[in-house]
Amino acid sequence: MRIRTILGWVLIFFGAMWLIKNNIVKIPDNVQRTYQNGVSKMSAGLDSIIDSNWNFNQNKTSQKMSASEQVTPPESIVKNKNLSRKYYYSYQDGTTDTVRNVFEQAIATYNATGIVKIVPGESQGWLNHLELGTYQKNVPNNQSRTIELGIGGPKIMEQTGIVSRIANHASAKLNVYYNKAISQAVATHEIGHALGLDHSTDEASVMYPLDRGQVKLSQADIDGLKAIYGETK
Ligand SMILES: [Zn+2]
């Protein structure tokens, strides 16, 4: 009895789909648009995601504002922190030349802004430091329909009191489980996180969370860096 009821509904459903498909039953325009949006969002989900600290709901709420008008936002932990614009960077042991090469290109991009200055050197106490390297993590495709290409972020060390000090001991890593992670775009995105930039909903931003091969900082990215480090002196 129950199986027969379900079968009935299934038949009704496919019957309705057939009528819609053949334009016998017209869907109002706005309903059709919603349906099409849903489809394009799903195909975006099939892309390679640069890293995992992204959720699509976050995207939905901020989409109302024109993406190009937004300054790339700072990660909340660097907000209102008086960080020095100078960074020393070093590589994890075993980082290959190919990986170093893409990181070097990304570093050159940030240095060209004149807002930050990233130079080779080891971590020294209360100075900003950026650790670069790789890791391997297999994210099963059937779970999220996306793959993780890297990870990066700031780590704020702070001392308040008679002497107040602050430093960012940041890191940026490429997930070399996937060959496509060894790219200038992924390195630029992860160093962006390390320097304190959060995700952007603008596809022209290097901080857009899906891999679009973006290696050039947008004006909004540059403005985002200025918001954290101040104008060049
Ligand atoms: Zn990211």
126-172: pLDDT as tens digits: 999 999 999 998 876 666 667 889 999 999 988 888 888 999 999 99
Cα of 186 from ligand 1 centre, angstroms? 9
User: In angstroms, rounded to a whole number, what is the distance separating the alpha carbons of residues 97 and 14?
Assistant: 56
Cα of 7 from ligand 1 centre, angstroms? 45
Cα of 102 from ligand 1 centre, angstroms? 17
Cα of 18 from ligand 1 centre, angstroms? 42
Cα of 118 from ligand 1 centre, angstroms? 20
Could you tell me how many residues make up the chain?
Answer: 233
Cα of 198 from ligand 1 centre, angstroms? 7
Cα of 128 from ligand 1 centre, angstroms? 20
Q: What is the pLDDT of residue 34?
A: 30
Q: What is the pLDDT of residue 14?
A: 56
Cα of 3 from ligand 1 centre, angstroms? 47
Strand partners, 168: 156
Residues with CB under 5 A from ligand 1 (ion): 50-51
pTM of the model as a whole: 0.73
Cα of 20 from ligand 1 centre, angstroms? 40
- What torsion do the CA atoms of 33, 36, 40, 46 make, to the nearest 10 degrees? 140
Query: Which is nearest to 106 in space by CA: 152, 137, 62?
Result: 152
User: In angstroms, rounded to a whole number, what is the distance separating the alpha carbons of residues 126 and 185?
Assistant: 29
Q: What is the pLDDT of residue 140?
A: 67
Q: What is the pLDDT of residue 16?
A: 62
Q: At what angle do helices 184-194 and 97-111 cross, to 10 degrees?
A: 60
| Burial of 180: CB neighbours in 10 Å, binned 0-12, 13-18, 19+ | middle
- Judge whether 221 and 205 are in contact, CB under 8 Å: yes
Cα of 184 from ligand 1 centre, angstroms? 14
Cα of 53 from ligand 1 centre, angstroms? 6
Cα of 122 from ligand 1 centre, angstroms? 25
User: In angstroms, rounded to a whole number, what is the distance separating the alpha carbons of residues 121 and 79?
Assistant: 26
Cα of 21 from ligand 1 centre, angstroms? 39
The ranges of the chain with pLDDT < 50 are 23, 26-47, 54-64
CATH 3.40.390.10 boundaries in the chain: 56-229
Q: What is the pLDDT of residue 41?
A: 22
Q: What is the architecture, at CATH level 2, of domain 56-229?
A: 3-Layer(aba) Sandwich (3.40)
Dihedral of alpha carbons 138, 144, 149, 155, sign:
negative
Task: Measure Cα distances from 118 to 58, 146, 175 in Å.
Answer: 31, 31, 22
Beta strands in 81-155 (DSSP E): 86-91, 117-120, 128-135, 150-153
Cα of 165 from ligand 1 centre, angstroms? 28
